[in-house]
Amino acid sequence: MPKSEVETLLRASLPEHCLIADAEGMRPYECDGLTAIREQPWLVALPENEIQVAAVLRICRQHNVPVVPRGAGTGLSGGARPHAEGVVLSLAKMNRILEIDADNCIARLQPGVRNLAISEAAAEHGLYYAPDPSSQIACSIGGNVAENSGGVHCLKYGLTVHNVLGAKVLTSDGEVLQLGGAVLDTPGLDLLAVLCGSEGMLGIVTEVTVSLLPKPPAVAVLLAAFRTVEAGAAAVARIIAEGIIPAGMEMMDALAVRAAEQFARAGYPLDAAAILLIELDGTAVELTELVSRVQSLVRAAGAYEVQVADEPAEQQRLWKGRKSAFPAVGRLAPDYYCMDGTIPRSKLGEVLGEIEKLGEHYGLPVANVFHAGDGNLHPLILFDANVPGQLEATEEMGGRILELCVRMGGTVTGEHGVGVEKLDQMCVQFSAAELDQFFRLKEAWDPAGVLNPDKGIPTLTRCGELGGLHVRHGQLPFAELERF
């Protein structure tokens, strides 16, 4: 069916103001936060309710039109990059908080609700929503589910998948599925865990039920400064080895510290090679003991300065620098490329040293900001896209950082997703048999393959073509793919 006929069907199913077809109006939808990867969509649909979402899906499924779901557009892996022949399905208008159930500590939300808005609405009940990505002021809960987002507090309180109890999902043909619910466990297979982190490739989330937590009675935030990055990494290992699980434990290297301090005036020591921000919570008595133990542990690891913030204003000041780190680093160069890989905590010092060597090799500065407690790295590679060859060098260096994470026993993504950015590195991490299982799962949910196509899972043909570039366990991967 010609595009014009599909557009006619969509216009008959949605109000006029819920469709964007002009080039200028669609420009903001060309990319997500990974601005280097752009594409002009054919059409943008902004449904206002579940019935309209189902109508868009049915029309597109019947006529084999790709559908790219989109939340707030803050993603950093190109997962919301449009398809030139497809429809961008934005859930931004579905942004109502449907229920705050304080007695059962849950909230029901439409997918366009901002992450921070959940905690703001729950605050009057003494509750909050734990996962807090750096983009929480803008990112949506639907996008958080799609990417299985983390944040500062995921070390102790878990990722999105650990805090979502249920979701209403529409399949590619508009069928409604209810996964999970308002209780801790539900009968049947745990399909909710499959959905979290599926990057919009399996279904469209139209409602989310999350668990809320009571605000801790007492909180302290410590800043520990170190002369070397290795000493900071050793402090992380010491704290976890002692059985202490901080609410959050973040690390920044010297370049990130200087940028954040100039931007946020958080009181960071500018002579530090690395700082740790450690948030502890619990009862007042418990907290006194924890603060004392952690102070001893970081000093034993080589901290030359330790600040302890007991008052909320001082805590917010310390966290402001970390939360502002990405925009702060953006002031150091015309462009930066944010990577996202995960490694075992014990490898932190070694991996940071290797990243420094890669930066020297490519002649590109790197600022490191990361969730130290769970080994989720965010190297920020500084470059200038106006300099010929720098963008290509930056992308190549980013790929090598992710491959380094795999070699160290980690993964190519911690919370940003695969999108289109990390397809090549998926070929390094997974075997042909594993990738085939991913495709079989995708086909079971979306037989026509119209939901966010060409994202998340590399084709075996692609991996075969890259086989000569990558080595896995001492062997070239996918040698069996010569038939392709």
DSSP assignment, residue 411? Answer: B
Q: Could you tell me which residues come within 8 angstroms of residue 387 by beta carbon, excluding any fewer than 6 positions away? A: none
Cα 418 to Cα 402: distance, rounded to the nearest angstrom: 11
C-alpha distances in Å from residue 46, one per residue of 60, 62, 84, 367 = 14, 19, 17, 37
Tens-level pLDDT at each residue, the chain (484 residues): 678 899 999 999 999 999 999 999 999 999 999 888 899 999 999 999 999 999 999 999 999 999 999 999 999 999 999 999 999 999 999 999 999 999 999 999 999 999 999 999 999 999 999 999 989 999 999 999 999 999 999 999 999 999 999 999 999 999 999 999 888 777 888 999 999 999 999 999 999 999 999 999 999 999 999 999 999 999 999 999 999 999 999 999 999 999 999 999 999 999 999 999 999 999 999 999 999 999 999 999 999 999 999 999 999 999 999 989 989 999 999 999 999 999 998 899 999 999 999 999 999 999 999 999 999 999 999 999 999 999 999 999 999 999 999 999 999 999 999 999 999 999 999 999 999 999 999 999 999 999 999 999 998 888 988 864 443 443 444 343 332 2
Cα 340 to Cα 356: distance, rounded to the nearest angstrom: 16
Buried b (16+ CB within 10 A) or exposed e, 395-414: bebbbbbbbbbbbbebbbbb
> CB under 8 Å, gap of 24 or more: what pairs does 3-12 form?
3/42, 6/59, 6/60, 6/63, 6/65, 7/43, 9/59, 10/43, 10/45, 10/55, 10/56, 10/59, 10/87
Cα 205 to Cα 451: distance, rounded to the nearest angstrom: 12
**pLDDT at position 480:** 39
DSSP assignment, residue 72? Answer: S
**pLDDT at position 472:** 41
**H, E, C per residue of 159-219:** CHHHHEEEEEEECCCCCEEEEECCCCCCCCCCHHHHHCCCCCCCCEEEEEEEECEECCCEE
Asked whether the CA dihedral 94, 96, 99, 100 is positive or negative, the reply is positive
Asked whether the CA dihedral 9, 15, 19, 24 is positive or negative, the reply is positive
Amino acid present at 426: M
Torsion of CA 155, 78, 107, 203, to 10 degrees: -120
Residue 130: count of CB within 10 angstroms of its CB: 22
C-alpha distances in Å from residue 262, one per residue of 304, 416, 452 = 21, 27, 40
Amino acid present at 468: G
Tokens of 271: 């002579």
Tokens of 353: 């040293």
DSSP assignment, residue 363? Answer: T
3-state secondary structure (DSSP) of residue 466: helix
C-alpha distances in Å from residue 426, one per residue of 111, 420, 422 = 28, 10, 6
- Report which of 138, 25, 38, 10 is spatially closest to residue 421, judged by C-alpha positions: 38
Residue 131: count of CB within 10 angstroms of its CB: 26
**pLDDT at position 477:** 41
Cα 22 to Cα 44: distance, rounded to the nearest angstrom: 9
**pLDDT at position 473:** 41
285-343 tens-digit pLDDT: 999 999 999 999 999 999 999 999 999 999 999 999 998 998 999 999 999 999 999 99
| φ, ψ of residue 139 in degrees (nearest 5) | -65, 155
> What domains lie within the chain, and their CATH numbers?
3-90 (3.30.43.10), 97-214 (3.30.465.10), 218-327 (3.30.70.2190), 333-407 (3.30.70.60), 423-483 (no CATH)
- Report which of 138, 140, 60 is spatially closest to residue 94, judged by C-alpha positions: 140
134-173 tens-digit pLDDT: 899 999 999 999 999 999 999 999 999 999 999 999 999 9
**Does this model's pTM top 0.75?**
yes
**pLDDT at position 183:** 81
